[in-house]
């Protein structure tokens, strides 16, 4: 099996974090619509997370916040968000990068996203970039072997119109999984 140098898993995670960003942008602009509310879990040790020492002591690894009725000063940027919340009647300001988020759930519509810890993936991505830096890339690079050019009709005739079967370990993801049924 070939190595995934594109890292589709990281690209998908990044795209889904964009969903969280978009939802928070809308909430910052217009408020929480209807019965929606959000549970957001995040890694408190992730670089860029800013929480009080009191909260860090209580939640040394992961914390879940709820954005529903009692939050203020939600500021959403391209890289993260900050929000005011009260914990045991003590107001706190939290700063959370999107990359620190480990989970997002809206129980009103039973929609949730779970993210893999990004610190490990970020290290892997860096290693991959370093390992492939000297390899030729782009349109000017020559393939190792010449592949035959085939038309779509030839490919469809070979496959009898059936979708391709992934290699062992591969997974085909359908957007139907995310559509409301």
Report how far residue 117's alpha carbon sits from residue 102's, in angstroms, rounded to the nearest whole number. 7
Alpha helix (H) ranges present in 31-172? 53-58, 118-132, 152-159
Alpha-carbon Rg for the chain in angstroms: 22
- Give the model confidence (pLDDT) of 21-55 as tens digits: 999 999 999 999 999 999 999 999 999 999 999 99
- Give the model confidence (pLDDT) of 137-165 as tens digits: 444 444 444 444 444 444 445 544 444 44
Look at residue 125 and tell me if it is in a domain: no
Total structural domains in the chain? Answer: 1
pLDDT, average across residues 124-148: 44
Look at residue 59 and tell me if it is in a domain: yes
- Give the model confidence (pLDDT) of 66-111 as tens digits: 999 899 999 999 999 999 999 999 999 999 999 999 999 999 999 9
Look at residue 43 and tell me if it is in a domain: yes
Tell which residue, 11, 20, 6, has the closest CA to residue 100.
20
Look at residue 53 and tell me if it is in a domain: yes
Name the more confident of 169 and 23.
23
**Mean pLDDT of the residues in the chain:** 78
Beta-carbon-side half-sphere exposure of residue 129 (alpha carbons within 13 Å): 6
Most confident of 50-64, 124-138, 164-178: 50-64
Alpha helix (H) ranges present in the chain? 8-30, 53-58, 118-132, 152-159
Buried b (16+ CB within 10 A) or exposed e, 112-123: ebebeebeebee
Tell which residue, 139, 101, 93, has the closest CA to residue 21.
101
Q: What is the pLDDT of residue 116?
A: 86
Look at residue 23 and tell me if it is in a domain: yes
**Would you say 105 and 112 are in contact if contact means Cβ atoms under 8 Å apart?**
yes
Q: What's CA 113's distance to the chain center, in Å?
A: 8
- Structural domain that includes position 72: 1-120
**Predicted TM-score (pTM) of this structure:** 0.66
Does the pLDDT of residue 135 top 50, yes or no?
Answer: no
Q: CATH code at 93? A: 2.30.30.220
Q: What is the pLDDT of residue 138?
A: 46
Q: What is the pLDDT of residue 1?
A: 76
Q: What's CA 173's distance to the chain center, in Å?
A: 15
Q: What is the pLDDT of residue 119?
A: 54
Look at residue 177 and tell me if it is in a domain: no
Look at residue 12 and tell me if it is in a domain: yes
Look at residue 181 and tell me if it is in a domain: no
């Amino acid at each position: 099996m070939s190595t995934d140098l594109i890292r589709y898993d990281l690209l998908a995670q990044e795209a889904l974090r964009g969903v969280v960003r978009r939802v928070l942008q809308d909430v910052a602009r217009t408020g929480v619509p209807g019965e929606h509310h959000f549970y957001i879990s995040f890694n408190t040790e992730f670089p860029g997370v800013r929480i009080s020492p009191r909260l860090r002591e209580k939640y040394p690894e992961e914390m879940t916040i709820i954005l529903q009725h009692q939050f203020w000063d939600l500021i959403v940027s391209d890289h993260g968000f900050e929000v005011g919340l009260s914990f045991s009647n003590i107001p706190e300001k939290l700063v959370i990068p999107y990359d620190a988020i480990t989970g997002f759930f809206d129980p009103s519509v039973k929609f949730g996203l779970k993210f893999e810890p990004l610190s490990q993936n970020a290290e892997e991505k860096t290693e991959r970039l370093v390992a492939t830096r000297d390899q030729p890339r782009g349109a000017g690079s020559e393939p190792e072997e010449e592949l035959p050019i085939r038309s779509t009709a030839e490919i469809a005739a070979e496959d009898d119109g059936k979708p391709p079967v992934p290699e062992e370990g591969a997974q085909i993801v359908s957007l139907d999984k995310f559509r409301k049924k």
